[in-house]
Amino acid sequence: MTRTKSLTIALAATVAAGVLTLATATASNAAALPPKPSDPGIPTSFDYRDCPQLPSGADPAAWRCEVMVANIRLATGRIPAVDVPLTVTHSEGPLPDGTTGQVFGAMHARSVAVPGIPGLRIQPEYAGHADFIGNGTIRGSIDITLRLQYPGSRRTCAIGSDRAPLTINSTAYGPTQWVSQQPPIIKGEMYDSTFAVPGVNGCGPIVDRLLDRGFALPSPAGRNQFSLVGYYSFRTHADLTGQA
């Protein structure tokens, strides 16, 4: 084993030990209604640069691009809850066959320090699937992974993967609230406490097992929390083209 690899494992062990130290003082993440993250405040502007290309035959005047600026709160396994600033962009509208279509644009989330665990940062990343049209009580669904960052960590080090992501199915805390008509700005608050969290991967075989043990992963459905407070606005693609 090389000195660099030994150092990486030692640093990962330090992170895992920090999690275990917190475990005795951290309450279970299971809850019927997860606490909300802090309110990000009404954005002064929305960035439409990530609006996606429309499907063939879609009417730009009937399709709108939506941009959401939010704070999300995540708690899983033994990892303490963290608030993460997030921006998500997607478009939706009628397809030529009469059904409603949607196209994902982008998700950007900050890397944030995990409280009480020196050297550990976490960053949500998009994992290849999203559905924001909603179905019954489910307001939206998105697959994510949680990138882990600590001294010596690999770029691939994460909780979950594109093949085995965290699948968030959001339910509203209550009705949405229009806070502005021009420009249109709507406030929404959502949560999910039903999702499962897979194990760590991409950090190296030894480190994966070490972090799984420290983080108490995989974590079954009902033992994890996600919540969101955000604001979204929209513009038609025809309007965006006219302003280009």
Residues 6 or more apart from 158 whose CB is under 8 A from it? 125, 145, 146, 147, 148, 200, 201, 202, 203
Domain with 138 in it:
3-27+37-243
122 belongs to a structural domain: yes
Domain assignment present for residue 131? The answer is yes
Residue 32 maps to a domain: no
Q: Write out pLDDT tens, residues 211-225.
A: 999 999 999 999 999
> Is the pLDDT higher at 147 or at 25?
147
Residue 117 lies in a domain: yes
pLDDT of residue 123: 98
pTM: 0.86
Q: Is 146 a domain residue? A: yes
Per-chain mean pLDDT for the chain: 89
In a domain, 205, yes or no: yes
Number of domains in the chain: 1
Own/partner pairs for 160-164, CB < 8 Å, 24+ apart? 160/127, 160/197, 160/198, 160/201, 161/127, 161/198, 161/201, 161/202, 162/127, 162/128, 164/198, 164/201
The answer to whether residues 96 and 57 touch, using CB atoms and an 8 Å cutoff, is yes
**CB under 8 A, 24+ apart: contacts of 111-118:** 111/147, 111/149, 112/82, 112/83, 112/84, 112/85, 113/82, 114/79, 114/80, 114/82, 115/80, 115/82, 116/18, 116/21, 116/22, 116/80, 117/15, 117/18, 117/19, 117/22, 117/79, 117/80, 118/14, 118/18
pLDDT of residue 137: 82
Is residue 233 one of the residues assigned to a domain?
A: yes
